[in-house]
Structure 1
């Protein structure tokens, strides 16, 4: 098989990698699992805050590692640490032990967060097919959400018997994914990096910062996209306890979360078509307003689960479309580093918001926490409108 065929195979292999990565059985039950070990909502917020604090400080170094040592190496290391994290989560029984598991999980997330997209996009550049990235990203989002849907349903069923079964099953799938990672082909443009030294990493980070600060469009798109992700992620995780508090069983919670992932899968797969109809202004101006309204609906309406599904679907649309906008503006040799900086912004949001939501949930109720998220989303939507009007 020649080099170009191997690069083209990266696209299909990435679909498989995405399926195994998101076919996890713990996303729908981890907050309930930790609560069963005696953690309060405040402690749940803190432990997620620890995850994102770790992620905040590790995003840039791991992004630079992917740019200099290679995306494939970064991916393999990320999956290995994900396996270690799952094992720790099975056996840990206190806040400290669980926090260590989350710290390792954060680093595994960091090692993947810029590397995967960079590997795919740079493969397309060498094939001169980068214009197909949004469509490919949409398919990838479809696979991710379908895998997540299956994982949520199965995870909910496993949790009815024993929460640790979900983590054991996730560990097995991760082992399979580690083996699969070795089959990727590193684009030559990523292999020709020069000296692999700390000095090179430092220069990589400094140059990437300069690109963001001198290209305001990149900065705005990153801040915008990660804010949308923050709203969706915060609601997704606390929604588990919200539904449990409303008397729903673990398997029914898994089904509701799975339905939201399925809706996100359908929208994500058609994101490139939707984007063609509504354009960048529609994605950046209209969609955030609709998301804000949907968050208010999740907080105030008795049909909160329907609004939750709308939020998930629209976040998927933004992720695919804005991800394409950003990649078109980034030079290949800085791609993983800059994308990791975007994830760092997401971590900053979560460090501030997630523990706050948990504390308010403990003091008042999760309904009040959702109202706070809706208010913040509304304010940020108004700010985005002013920025776009100015542009």
Structure 2
């Protein structure tokens, strides 16, 4: 039991360090300085997402079969390599291998850390604490990103490569921490045909089990809604003529609010009820897109917090719902299916939104995003309501 409790503490630390993202607040200017257009930036991110789409389920299966710890170790090692590639790259062709490597890294960590945490709590008969674990974890990661954003912004004033060098060191520090994790006891299925088993689990999650399917689809839509705004935020700052030195500070403020929102996730759903909470996520996201797109100004900039509310609150709630339904031996694979759905959506929609930015404007891209995600969210909510899930 002591090892299981230590796992929880270690995952808090690993997630906090892993989200100490010095590079993210200035990533778009970094790409631009290295010769990428907005369309190429979205293309890099879409290829990154496609890599995740290809590997997400196999990596989840790897975690279920060979161990979540080994999957995470593989992931943090590739994170270090991918960031090291960025640190010396110039131009689309040189940056792309770094994005691909980081996509591989994300795939092997995604789902494995959540599955290991849930099974550690299960081993201690404390699985009911999982939502609190996710909410607290998300709060910690928000604070970590906020602090890193400020530091990354200041490092960027020295050089746009300085945050990349520092990020490589941060990722490198994760390797010994992952090695300290202990695999929790769990049931392992006897596997004769791994490929068929992956297909069977995917079919179970996306076709056979209606509740899991629509939870996955809606979570994917909300995740893509907020992730799209990540790549529109820095061009929006540029539109408003905000100095580069303020990028990290503003990013930190946004993430600080997300940390607060995440801590309130359980309370929010209890007060609002499941149906109203679920509906509010799409409504808040769409309103934020529309207001910022139609009236771009410093006065409407606070509407960006709507995306961080959705991101901070919906993630622990949906993770808990899916974990509670899925059995231990396929948990990491099903969570990978959920993450795959989001990356697949972004891989399709990201380049489209990038083209709108380059051909028209950032304002048009924001309005376009609001319409797209409003329709997708509305259709998914309607299906969930018809199935009496809300």
TM-score tier (shorter): over 0.9
* Cα distance between partner residues in 1 of 2:196 and 2:181: 27
Within 5 A, what are the aligned runs for 1:300-319? 300-301=294-295, 302=297, 303-319=299-315
Cα drift, residue 201 of structure 1: 5.0
**Contact 1:260–1:313 (CA under 8 A) maintained in structure 2:** no
Q: Secondary structure at the match of 2:186?
A: helix
**Contact 1:28–1:156 (CA under 8 A) maintained in structure 2:** yes
Q: Secondary structure at the match of 1:123?
A: helix
**Contact 1:64–1:205 (CA under 8 A) maintained in structure 2:** no
Cα drift, residue 388 of structure 1: 3.7
* Cα distance between partner residues in 1 of 2:365 and 2:282: 19
Alignment of 1:217 onto 2:211:
yes
Structure 2: unaligned runs, 5 residues or longer: none
- Judged with a 3 Å threshold, the aligned counterparts in structure 2 of structure 1 residues 304 and 106 are, in CA distance, closer, same or farther, namely farther
Q: TM-score, normalised by structure 1?
A: 0.95
Q: Secondary structure at the match of 1:163?
A: coil
Aligned residue among 273, 282, 289 for 2:267: 273
**Contact 2:38–2:354 (CA under 8 A) maintained in structure 1:** yes
Compare 351-360 and 236-245 and name the one that shifted more: 236-245
Compare 316-325 and 283-292 and name the one that shifted more: 283-292
**Contact 1:60–1:205 (CA under 8 A) maintained in structure 2:** no
Q: Which residue of 1 aligns with 2:292?
A: 298
Q: What whole-Å deviation, never above 9, does each CA across 1:259-316 have from its counterpart, x for those lacking one?
A: 1111110010121122221222122122221221122122223333211112112221
Alignment of 1:374 onto 2:370:
yes
Q: Which residue of 1 aligns with 2:379?
A: 383
**Contact 1:64–1:201 (CA under 8 A) maintained in structure 2:** no
Alignment of 1:114 onto 2:111:
yes
- Judged with a 3 Å threshold, the aligned counterparts in structure 2 of structure 1 residues 263 and 111 are, in CA distance, closer, same or farther, namely same
Within 5 A, what are the aligned runs for 1:219-298? 219-298=213-292
Aligned residue among 143, 146, 164 for 1:146: 143
Alignment of 1:23 onto 2:20:
yes
Alignment of 1:365 onto 2:361:
yes
Aligned residue among 128, 131, 136 for 1:131: 128
Q: Which residue of 1 aligns with 2:89?
A: 92
Within 5 A, what are the aligned runs for 1:151-170? 151-170=148-167
Cα drift, residue 371 of structure 1: 0.6
* Cα distance between partner residues in 2 of 1:137 and 1:344: 20
Q: TM-score, normalised by structure 2?
A: 0.95
* Cα distance between partner residues in 1 of 2:213 and 2:28: 32
**Contact 1:45–1:358 (CA under 8 A) maintained in structure 2:** yes
Aligned length: 385
Aligned residue among 344, 351, 354 for 2:350: 354
- Judged with a 3 Å threshold, the aligned counterparts in structure 2 of structure 1 residues 62 and 385 are, in CA distance, closer, same or farther, namely closer
Structure 1: unaligned runs, 5 residues or longer: none
Alignment of 1:43 onto 2:40:
yes
* Cα distance between partner residues in 1 of 2:357 and 2:205: 40
Q: Which residue of 2 aligns with 1:332?
A: 328
* Cα distance between partner residues in 1 of 2:385 and 2:220: 21
* Cα distance between partner residues in 1 of 2:150 and 2:84: 21
Cα drift, residue 211 of structure 1: 4.1
* Cα distance between partner residues in 2 of 1:32 and 1:368: 21
**CA RMSD between the two structures:** 1.5
Q: Secondary structure at the match of 2:83?
A: helix
Compare 349-358 and 244-253 and name the one that shifted more: 244-253
* Cα distance between partner residues in 1 of 2:35 and 2:207: 44
Q: What whole-Å deviation, never above 9, does each CA across 1:65-107 have from its counterpart, x for those lacking one?
A: 1111110001011000000001100111121111110000001
**Contact 2:222–2:377 (CA under 8 A) maintained in structure 1:** no
